[in-house]
Amino acid sequence: MIGINIYLALIAIATLLSVYRVFRGPTTVDRLVAVDIMTTITAGLMVLFALYYERMIFLDVALVYAILAFGGVIAFARYMEGGL
C-alpha cells in the first residue's frame, strides 16, 4: 500500500473542490451535486480504508452509505422539482 498517500492527496483535493462548490455554487442544484460528490468521495474513502486495514466490513458500510446517500439525493431532487 505504498500509493495510499497519493490516493489520499487526490481525495483531499476533490473534497476541497467540492466544498468550494457547496459554498460558492450559484444554484441549489450545484450545491446538491457537490454534496453528492462528497458522499461518493466518502464511500471511496471507506473502500480505501477497507483495503488498507484489511477489514472487509468497511466495504459493506460503504455500500450501505452510498445507497442511502443516493436515496437522499433523489429525494431532495424530487422535492426541488415539486414532486414530493
Looking at residue 46, which CATH number applies to its domain?
1.10.287
Averaged pLDDT of the chain: 89
**What percent of the chain shows pLDDT beyond 90?**
56
What's the rounded mean pLDDT across residues 33-57? 91
Which residue range is the domain that position 53 belongs to?
1-81
Q: For residue 59, give the DSSP letter.
A: H
Q: How many domains does the chain have?
A: 1
CB 45 within 8 A of CB 58: no
Q: Over 70: is that where the pLDDT of 34 sits?
A: yes
Cell of 64: 450501505
